[in-house]
Structure 1
Amino acid sequence: MFKKKILMLFAAAVMFSAQAQDYQWKEAKSGGYTYKYVTNDPTQARFYTLKNGLTVILSPTKKDPRIQAYVATKAGSKTDPATNTGLAHYLEHMLFKGTDKYGSLDWAREKVELDKIDALYEQYNKTKDETKRKAIYRQIDSISGVASKFAIANEYDKMMSAMGAQGTNAWTSFEETVYTDDVPASSLDKYLAVQAERFRNPQLRIFHTELEAVYEEKNRSLDSDGSKVFETLFSNLFQNHNYGKQTTIGTVEHLKNPSLVEIRKYFNTYYVPNNMGIVMSGDFNPDETIAKIDKAFSYMQYKPIPKYTFQPEVPFTAPVIKEITGPDAESISIGFRLPGNKDKDVLLADLVGSILTNGKAGLLDLNLVKKQKLLRASAFTYTLQDHGVLWLSAAPTTGQSLEEVKTLVLQEIENLKKGNFDADLLPSIVNNIKKQKIQETEKYGDRASSLVNAFTSELDWKDQVAYVNDLSKIKKEDVVAFANKYLGNNYVAVLKRKGENKNPQKIEKPSITPVETNADKQSSFVKMINDMPNTPSQPVFLNFDKDIQKSKIGKAEVLYVPNTDNQLYRLRYRYKIGSLNDLKQPLAAQYIQFLGTDKKSAEDISKEFYKIASSFSVSTGEEYTTVNIEGLQENFDQAVKLYEDLVLNAKPSEEALAALKARIAKSRKDAKANKGAILNGLTSYALYGPKNKFNNTLSDAELNAVTAQELVDRMKNLNNYEQTVIYYGPESLKNLTAKLGSLHKVPANFAVAAPAKTFKQQAQSKNQVLFTDYDMVQAETRWIRNTTAYDPAQTTLVNVFNNYFGGGMGSIVFQTIRESKALAYSTYGYYVQPQKKSDQYYMMSYVGSQADKFGDAVGAMNELLTKMPELSDNLELAKSQVKKDIQTERVMQDDIIFRYLAAQQLGLKDDIRKEMYTSVDKITMADVKKFHTTHFSGKPYTYALVASEKNVKMDDLKKIGEVKKISLEELFGY
């Protein structure tokens, strides 16, 4: 996974003036511990360094009864041994497998077998003769089967689920490996006990099946044109540094030759307290929490960390142009090498990224995207410890070459270097970033994310808190000087062309005997954790009559929730007309952003919105078209007037429409080259038949016949339809309705939209395979089966079933198909609930596997759909997940309104979670089994399959069911 851009948080009290604040490190003592903090830090973060060197960062906030927790190690693929690339990522996977205390039924007997496996892998690693290698691997496979009889798979995930954790996962990047869990505040003691044990003495059990999962992850990256672009760009930008010399997931050769000795050596070198950090934000007492962390992790011993060294990169004297081919759409990526994140110019680098593209008023936004000179364009700074990259990405429109796109993008770099941009763009960017920081401080998860990213990047938190203040001091001439210093003919450009991959790679499937998972067993450590006392939070249910205030503006209903935290607002007009009523309405919603009025150009309007740190968007779904206007309340009137004036006075532009049609034509062509879009199209085909929601779109001829005037007329007529006004913000309801009464004119009578087109879900009467050919290593398969109409009484059972069967890493599907049989990196199976009371439920299962594992993967999923294993402890865990999620979920802000509207769609008057909470304990295994038998076992399915005809055999598909090859034209409707 790639590192997120560093987030800096700012409190609601931060205003949009140039007010200077003092940001200094201070020291304080509390609860017997000394900590540091930064003055005027809205996260109120405390920075502790324990005696063994462990960093602990705590940011308390009591809005939600939950804690976002990270355990981070400042080591990633940059520090992988050159002979064992991908090792840090391997290790990340293995740190979910347990220790000598959990994950094992009989550690003494298991260890004997694991030691044998260690020795065999060292032989395997050093052996070149393929015949001998296969013989050694057969031994590994055989002994792994014996060892697995003493192992318990996924005990970590089960412990976290039992305590109510969400988002349990991890990622590895160039300079970090981070383990993440979002836990109920009441489970803090359990969480710390598990984490302290997790890093004490990890064991590399069930290794060869997990290794196969990593193989699958590598194969997915080999199928990804985006991954190939990234690796090509970085390998050419950084020829002396591991940013370019090594990849996070590793080479095929190294993945095929792992060394458990080297993995342990890496763990012992880098997983030491002075190189690790624990970061938490949420509902806790920091004095109590630091004492608990200190006690839990005091066993860790300080060790010196080897410093990564590298040779300076040789400056580019001319552009480096590289080409790759693959099935995805054409694009170009351009990278300029920049200094690392400690350099004084890094602040300018961030600002340059925003000047080029900020989604509204950047040079690329206004000069290329708004004027529709290409399909898309963006720029951002990717800053790491030792180097950075200014990364520009763009895609051509119809009839445009990649060379032409490159010229257009580089022209904007020249504009930057010449200072051809408005001077007031800089304060506008600062204002918008300030607004963004206010939004980010609303959530405990965002706070924790910012803090952990700063820790692993070794950034001074004082600089992060002062970020916007420092940004506001930069002048236009500083930007121009930076651009001329760094952005010359010293770039790498990767031209991604559409075509057959000339050098396909894949890791061959080894012969793996399914291992035991002992899913119905439990170690004594897990029992101890589960038995630890805790007092769960009491659930808070919505009362739609009390939590939402209602009013009227003429005939339009107003739904209102106050913002008592800050001065931001979100206003929406929700009109009762969608794509099912009129296929041209979505096009009109797109078109309006490229139009101006008789007094202002489209670019002028974008600039005006951006200057006041506001924005608007129009989107059309199946049933509704929604206008969204948001920003700072003090600019509410100005922003609403800007939007209303645009719609009232929009001038049709045939030139803008022609460019939009060309871009849509290119987007359509690109969609046909996207395997994810193809799989979604097949899924819709399986649900509804040949004419379905996915291909319910304008034909090419219909699109070409659309006129500018009819689209403008649709936008001007939009306000005549039935509408609901949705507001979340600091204005009182009385003042809001008074203001909108004059700003937003609601008609005396609403127009009625054309009848909505309907699509009926198709009954599966026989097994059928819907197949579309795609040039890829993997085979991606979904199982689809429509069942019965919505029944609110089934909600609790459906949620329990999904948790139990296939909705997470502890589920039966994941444990069987990935953990035991190593058939896939990604797999799931869940029962999809309707969004409308008139719709039906449907089953959707998925396996993404190597094509040569396709038959085994299909067989494994079909076996689970036919006969569901009955594991009573797993069922109790699934029920506990439902209950604990409800206990700690707090629905706030305008989410309250959207829950209300969603309940209306289902014919519900109350918060369905209340019924779920009171009924979940009554669910039995007999209920789940009957549910499975009634809806899934022995029933026909439609298989949606995307794969290469070269890699899967039609005869094998015919054994599953009737095969129907679906062309791209049938699938997409154009």
Structure 2
Amino acid sequence: MNHFHKFGLGILSIFALHQLNAQQKYEWKEASSGGYTYKYVTNDPLKARFYTLKNGLKVILTQNSKEPRIAVNIPVRTGSNNDPSDHTGLAHYLEHLLFKGTDRFGSLDWAKEKPYLDQITNLYAEYNKIPTSDSVARKSKYHEIDSVSGVASHYSIANEYDKLMASLGSQGTNAHTSVEETVYEENIPSNALDKFLQIQAERFRNPQFRLFHTELEAVYEEKNRGLDNDGWKIYETLLSNVFPTSNYGQQTTIGTIEHLKNPSLIAIRDYYNKYYVPNNMAIVMSGDFNLDEAIKLIDKDFSYMVAKPVSDYQDPIEKPIVGPIVKDVYGPSAESVTIGYRIGKSESEDAMMSDLIGEILNNGKAGLFDLNLNKAQKVAKSSAGPDQMKDYGVFELSGSPKQGQSLEEVKDLLLQQVELLKKGQFDTTLIKAIVANNKLSVLKGLDNNDARMGMLMKDFINSKSDNWPFVISELDNMSKVSAKEVIAYANEIFKDNNYVIVYKKKGEDKNVIKVDKPAISPVETNAGRQSDFVAQMTSTPLPPIQPKWVNYATAIQKAKVKTAEVLYVPNKENSLFNLYYYYDFGSYSNKYLPLALNYLQFLGTDKYSSADFSKLFYDQAASFSASASAESMTLSVNGLNENYTKAVSLFEDLLLHCKGDDEALKSLKNRMLKSRADAKLNKGAIASGLRNYAAYGAKNPFNNVLSDKEIEDLTADQLVKILHELPNYKHRILYYGPQALPVFTAKLGSLHSIPATWAATPKAIKFDRVAQTENEVYFANYDMVQSEIYWHRKLDQFDTSKLAIVNLFNNYFGGDMGSIVFQTIREAKALAYSTGALISTPAKKEEVFTFIGYVGSQADKHDDAIHAMNELIDTLPLNEHSFTSAIGTLKKDIETERITKTGILFNYLALEKQGINYDIRKSLYNSYGKYKLSDVVNYHDTELANKPYSYIIVASDKKIAPDSLKDYGKVKVVSLEDIFGY
């Protein structure tokens, strides 16, 4: 039956919104302002300006003044596709090295440092010529590299770039490399734009590849982490077979082990000179700034760059896939199936059709995969959609088996949905619903600077032909597509057997070869010193930005709907609403509660089936969710205000009148048991469980779950009874939307079931953290290259007076790339790709602070990593400059933070749990400047130094024998059954 026709479309009202006005014209226009000419596209929701400087540098700007911050990307149109075939991974290396400074910063004395850097470059060239079979000669040469690097490090300043960004108040300093792009990422306060652009211009002027061998070791760690990631192995296997000729499949971004062992600084410099030129780069910004002023600053700072011809990588024309091509991938994680079809390039008609087909198959609510596989619980989970790249793309289908289901059965079910699409056996009105829901998503995302900037950045990477009109008109173009065209395109790309299928199977991967640890001596980081350039940049203060505090007494209006308290914040910006029913109890009060809420999505009523509800919500461009954490539960509905009554009525009808479905429960139990079994194969889940075991003991929040027997004995009536009774328990109503408060309360009073008196709130189980009285080691075995190491210690009970010193300590000690932990363990000693440490602040006033440390290390560096962290825990290095920077960073974060919309509601609730009824940020902001470094030292020495700890280690017992850990404390090998409780 065609349910959309049955129920009647509510879509047309969406198109009446002026923000979503369909069928507009998107055309390039030209304009001038502030002495600069730019292009723009009519009806662009981002109102972006596209400039091209005289040297070819693209500047793409979009203004958004919701908060005093600016999201910035500096993309370069190059990635692993352009890596030389004998130096794969080079683009990624280079990305890391662009954080090392230039001849003006990152160095204490460039004239003295340069000869050593030149010598290191030459030594690597000699090293590359030694055959890998000659281990003695290679070891000797690497020792020479290590020695000279140690001398050179006396003149270098590690992480000076990161510290400089922190001094500006930047957040999320990072970068990434993929097949076609290298992108440098920052999020800065709006008052720092002038200085920021000067720093970026300097960054790209004459980068120096200092501290290379320790950074290389970090890349080794990154490679080893990838070898432990079955998802990456699946993806690389898929691409290598979908693209047997192109670099999309033949060159991985991180590079081969052989090439990682033989880097060439000469080749890296040549690559930089070839691709890092202005006509191959852009500056993309979204945020609170003046457009005319910004382009002047960019032109002033980047005009020194000189354009050069750039020859793009030309993808060969791949021959059609003749298959199926079947590949197996082995590893310790759960089994799955991934099927890939080659499709056309991004920002094309092919890409638009692939996007549309992806939504018809899998939109999260009403697609063929959603209804026929996920909602019907035919598989554990499934998904479908395109992965678009510049010259080609991959359309992926993926699925995981239920308990007792074979991978072949999953494959058949996935392909059956494709066949339905090819035969036109889908609801053709779904196209309109897809367009409407996606336009609604665009409307929601207009406030988000990262989302706005990300769209513009990807367009720059994917197109040299100014394709922005196509990008922003895609949804309008989709709305014109007929079902006949969809069917024809589906039959074109999903031709019989023209796919690659990757079976992820459980088992030992015989092909994994880790990157071995070279002998590296710790280098000097000069952590407390700075270059003249940085001193100049930081000598003058930034223009002030005044913080804005939330007065919760006025920001939140309170009312009643019958006996339920209402917390109300008006939405004065658009016609979207968010409605929440918030309960102060969760799974600690009822272990069945999360399962009952999960069961709700598979239920219907006498009037509508579960599939009907999914389609109806999708038709209204609305959605609902129901979830429980340990001590709270939230039921929510959101969407367009004009569909508010319909959406809320639908949810209330489902919650109050849902009927038990034995077959759905049987499938849910099957999937739940499979999910529980899969969790025992997931290193992240194992680590999380082991941390809980160490923190709370054998009975802990992580294994507070249903037993197999409790699941087996569970009936549909039990779960439905829990759902039907939910409105009877005390809850608060949270609303952010455009309705006036009296209108909202009156409407909801007629829609929402509330009892005259509340049922007694179920009592919650209490878990107490274990105090560490001696060092203990908790070990769990997992087949992997890496070793995951955590430190845990219970501290004092929550106290608002300690929040400021805790935040200061965290920022100074282990908060980011400029922190003591990162500087020492990664930068100076090259012991980890990822490391950090912090004092965790509890969510409730009755709970305690805890210390958590982490190092992800190669197994053969395991002991060195533990000793390095222990040294920092026992003796805090002193760095007055870093401490001052920590204070500045914390204050700048508060100055530019704006708590708005639903954030007001949920921040209020979070503060309430901590016993706070005001904006705590104000007192923190005013107190940070009163502290001295000695206060942080005293806190560290009192709370952490020379204290017993729980060491939590997940590693392969083939690489780290548990008995070898006795030096750190009493060792307990914890079984998966003890960790998970089943």
- Give the TM-score of the pair, scaled to structure 1: 0.98
Residue equivalent to 1:610: 618
How far the C-alpha of 1:532 sits from its partner, in A, is 3.6
Distance 2:581 2:348 in 1: 46
Aligned mate of 2:85, from 59, 82, 86: 82
Report the more deviating stretch, 402-411 or 616-625: 616-625
Residue equivalent to 2:393: 388
How far the C-alpha of 1:538 sits from its partner, in A, is 0.1
Equivalent residues, number: 964
Residue equivalent to 2:899: 891
**Is residue 739 from structure 1 mapped to residue 747 from structure 2 by the alignment?**
yes
CA contact under 8 A between 2:528 and 2:879: conserved in structure 1?
A: yes
CA contact under 8 A between 2:781 and 2:955: conserved in structure 1?
A: yes
Aligned mate of 1:441, from 439, 446, 449: 446
**Is residue 493 from structure 1 mapped to residue 498 from structure 2 by the alignment?**
no
CA contact under 8 A between 1:190 and 1:532: conserved in structure 2?
A: no
Equivalent positions of 1:52-201 (< 5 A) are 52-128=55-131, 129-201=134-206
CA contact under 8 A between 1:12 and 1:567: conserved in structure 2?
A: no
**Is residue 475 from structure 1 mapped to residue 493 from structure 2 by the alignment?**
no
**Is residue 931 from structure 1 mapped to residue 939 from structure 2 by the alignment?**
yes
Report the more deviating stretch, 19-28 or 810-819: 19-28
Distance 2:784 2:878 in 1: 36
Aligned mate of 2:567, from 559, 564, 571: 559
**Is residue 577 from structure 1 mapped to residue 585 from structure 2 by the alignment?**
yes
CA contact under 8 A between 2:49 and 2:60: conserved in structure 1?
A: yes
How far the C-alpha of 1:17 sits from its partner, in A, is 7.3
Distance 1:591 1:640 in 2: 19
Distance 2:249 2:350 in 1: 22
How far the C-alpha of 1:393 sits from its partner, in A, is 1.2
Residue equivalent to 1:397: 402
How far the C-alpha of 1:504 sits from its partner, in A, is 2.2
Residue equivalent to 1:243: 248
Distance 2:218 2:525 in 1: 15
Report the more deviating stretch, 337-346 or 520-529: 337-346
Residue type at the aligned position of 1:92: E
Residue equivalent to 1:307: 312
- CA gap of 1:762–1:482, structure 2 versus 1, over 3 A, is same
Residue type at the aligned position of 1:232: T
Q: Give the CA RMSD over aligned residues.
A: 1.1
Distance 2:123 2:738 in 1: 66
Report the more deviating stretch, 335-344 or 232-241: 335-344
Residue equivalent to 1:520: 528
User: CA offsets per residue over residues 751-778 of structure 1, 9 Å max, x none?
Assistant: 1122100000110001001000000000
Aligned mate of 1:530, from 522, 535, 538: 538
Residue equivalent to 1:659: 667
CA contact under 8 A between 1:14 and 1:434: conserved in structure 2?
A: no
1:335 aligned counterpart, secondary structure: strand
CA contact under 8 A between 2:101 and 2:203: conserved in structure 1?
A: yes
Equivalent positions of 1:455-474 (< 5 A) are 455-458=460-463, 460-474=467-481
Residue equivalent to 1:588: 596
How far the C-alpha of 1:83 sits from its partner, in A, is 0.6
CA contact under 8 A between 1:186 and 1:536: conserved in structure 2?
A: yes
Aligned mate of 1:843, from 836, 851, 855: 851
How far the C-alpha of 1:13 sits from its partner, in A, is 9.0
1:280 aligned counterpart, secondary structure: strand
Query: What runs of 5+ residues in structure 1 fail to find an aligned partner?
Result: 1-10
Residue equivalent to 2:6: none
Distance 2:351 2:823 in 1: 45
Query: What runs of 5+ residues in structure 2 fail to find an aligned partner?
Result: 1-13
Residue type at the aligned position of 1:69: V
Equivalent positions of 1:811-850 (< 5 A) are 811-850=819-858
Distance 1:347 1:434 in 2: 15
Distance 1:464 1:52 in 2: 26
User: CA offsets per residue over residues 425-464 of structure 1, 9 Å max, x none?
Assistant: 1111111001100011012222112111111122611112
1:325 aligned counterpart, secondary structure: strand
Residue type at the aligned position of 2:587: S
User: CA offsets per residue over residues 627-666 of structure 1, 9 Å max, x none?
Assistant: 1101110000000111111112111011000000000000
Distance 2:286 2:314 in 1: 34
CA contact under 8 A between 1:575 and 1:719: conserved in structure 2?
A: no
User: CA offsets per residue over residues 551-599 of structure 1, 9 Å max, x none?
Assistant: 1001111111111111111111112331011101111000010001112
How far the C-alpha of 1:623 sits from its partner, in A, is 1.7
Equivalent positions of 1:225-374 (< 5 A) are 225-374=230-379
CA contact under 8 A between 2:73 and 2:183: conserved in structure 1?
A: yes
Residue equivalent to 1:958: 966
Residue equivalent to 2:9: none
2:736 aligned counterpart, secondary structure: strand
Report the more deviating stretch, 128-137 or 322-331: 128-137
Residue equivalent to 1:419: 424
How far the C-alpha of 1:740 sits from its partner, in A, is 0.2
How far the C-alpha of 1:181 sits from its partner, in A, is 0.5
Distance 2:435 2:620 in 1: 11
**Is residue 407 from structure 1 mapped to residue 415 from structure 2 by the alignment?**
no
Distance 2:690 2:331 in 1: 22
Distance 1:571 1:377 in 2: 29
Residue equivalent to 1:6: none
Report the more deviating stretch, 445-454 or 804-813: 445-454
Equivalent positions of 1:740-819 (< 5 A) are 740-819=748-827
Distance 1:14 1:73 in 2: 37
Distance 1:513 1:416 in 2: 60
- CA gap of 1:508–1:319, structure 2 versus 1, over 3 A, is same
1:345 aligned counterpart, secondary structure: helix
Residue equivalent to 2:860: 852
Distance 1:869 1:313 in 2: 56
How far the C-alpha of 1:533 sits from its partner, in A, is 4.2
CA contact under 8 A between 1:573 and 1:726: conserved in structure 2?
A: yes
CA contact under 8 A between 1:26 and 1:36: conserved in structure 2?
A: yes
CA contact under 8 A between 1:67 and 1:283: conserved in structure 2?
A: yes
Residue equivalent to 1:43: 46
Report the more deviating stretch, 673-682 or 523-532: 523-532
Residue equivalent to 1:220: 225
- CA gap of 1:810–1:454, structure 2 versus 1, over 3 A, is same
Residue type at the aligned position of 1:782: Y
CA contact under 8 A between 2:20 and 2:443: conserved in structure 1?
A: no
User: CA offsets per residue over residues 838-887 of structure 1, 9 Å max, x none?
Assistant: 00000000000000000000000000000010100000001111100000
Residue equivalent to 1:7: none
Residue equivalent to 2:3: none
Distance 2:180 2:740 in 1: 48
Distance 1:292 1:18 in 2: 35
Residue equivalent to 2:720: 712
User: CA offsets per residue over residues 458-499 of structure 1, 9 Å max, x none?
Assistant: 261111221211111111111100010110210000000011
Residue type at the aligned position of 2:522: P
Residue type at the aligned position of 2:159: N
Aligned mate of 1:568, from 553, 576, 579: 576
Residue type at the aligned position of 1:140: I
Residue type at the aligned position of 1:509: K
How far the C-alpha of 1:334 sits from its partner, in A, is 0.6
Residue equivalent to 2:680: 672
User: Which 4+ residue blocks in structure 1 deviate beyond 4 angstroms?
Assistant: 11-18
Residue equivalent to 1:544: 552
CA contact under 8 A between 1:772 and 1:967: conserved in structure 2?
A: yes
Report the more deviating stretch, 397-406 or 127-136: 127-136
User: CA offsets per residue over residues 808-842 of structure 1, 9 Å max, x none?
Assistant: 00000000000000000000000000000000000
Residue type at the aligned position of 2:307: Y
Residue type at the aligned position of 1:736: F
Residue equivalent to 1:629: 637
Aligned-residue identity in percent: 53
